[in-house]
Structure 1
Amino acid sequence: MGQYKGYLIDLDGTVYRGRERIPAAKRFIERLQASASDFLLVTNNTTKSPEDVAANLADNHDIHVKPENVYTAALATADYVDELAGDGEKSMYVIGELGLKGALLAKGFHFNETTPRFVVVGLDYDVTYHKFELATLAIKRGARFIGTNADTNLPNERGLVPGAGSVIAMVERATQQRATYVGKPETIIMKKAVEKIGLDKQDCVMVGDNYMTDISAAINFEMDSLLVYTGVSTPELVAKQAVQPTNVINSLDEWDLENGVVK
């Protein structure tokens, strides 16, 4: 087998483009499965459960993976906050969708709107002033402030809409505190993903289309990267960066899985 025993793979822009299929990505994942390689689909999405993500891949992209192959920023946030909590109280106030709340509840956390130990903020499609108010007051009382990911915008069929980072930024402005961020390009999600896959980071590579999130996460974590030009980043943008990706390809078909090199 090649130099990499484990692959951490971004989703949107790498495995699919919104609702559009990327045939080379399907072939790449099937090659990983055929070779029994370890892989995790690592996404900053916190609104969906791993089961939902796997179902979307199967139903809309004909890519068939197990929920265990999916690692969301919601799961990484729950793992991180659980680590912070230790044997102490597991109380939280959350701005976020069911994917985030479910991940935290599965770790034994319970809701507390007034004096939680942690305030966790992510993307919430039904966010209200009252939710911002509760989060702000709790942080002012001493709650630890955690942000799922810093993505300011998300692409959908209408254009670039506000992302989790925009929601978190409002709480930061109201509290005059910066959140501890978990998702890409931060190292927390990378550390937790590597722990989940059960390998050393030297044996893994991060595969993604976005230099500013996927590749920067690998660089920050001192892990190898594989940039594929099927999504956000362009050769012109990447050429301007001080630190280059370890590997660059135009299509996942160009990756020699057996030897861990570009064909």
Structure 2
Amino acid sequence: MTNATETGHVTSADGTVIGYHRLGDGPALVVLHGQMESAQSHRQLAEALAGTHTVYLPDRRGRGLSGPYGAAHDSEREVEDLDAVLTATGAQWVFGVSVGALVALRAATALPAVRKVAVYEPPLFADGPAPTDWVARYEREMAAGRVAAALVTAMRAARMGPSVFRFMPRPLLEFLTGRMMAAQDGRAGPGDVTMRMLAPTLRHEARLVAELAQTQRDVRADALLLGGAKSPAYLKAALDALERVMPGARRVEFAGLDHGGSGNTDLGGEPDVVARELRRFFA
């Protein structure tokens, strides 16, 4: 086993470069990060899996090692990006998180290469379209250079963060978010992907969620559905809906974890706990 990281890249169907980190030994597993994340966000999960798997951590478009979004960016481009990684690596197993889980589910319906798929809390909306009323305010705040305010708008729309955030005055929440961003900027090293860098990706993530927000009914791959007991109710409902239309899928809820449960520990994740279930499923 080795935890040494190598980087590589593939070229997607439209010519965009998709970069990835690779570590470990064994059967190939692609980990597709979620919203406001990059490949780095699941480095510790990859380390926990490196003894049994060769783990590929692609940066989805618009961040890190990968190229920019195109003018026609949509869910099909995301599936093409994942397809390029699968083809180059020979991987047949995918673990997707949040928006990355939506992409993984769509890929599992479209790409025969996906034999097993595990997802952590895809933001599906089984009872109607995904909410988009927050996007206009987010766009105005981003255009005005108010990045912290835009992040608060998106976070509240997604009902993320500690429950106390829902009762905190918005100006205070914006101030604290700005302080957090400034501290992260100050300690960022070469190649790090910060909240400030990720903020512009949210407009594209909102489009993907709107496109993919209905329950996926045609997943033929073996599936594992994962979630946290402390996550928002609509994410638990999404897994309930998937469980109804994917009767062969296994469901695991992690006590004490929330939507960031699979990520690095500095952001509240418990990657070792999630890795145990992934090893069991991808055995």
Q: Answer 1 or 2: which has greater helix percent.
A: 2
TM over 0.5: no
TM-score, normalised relative to structure 1: 0.30
TM-score, normalised relative to structure 2: 0.28
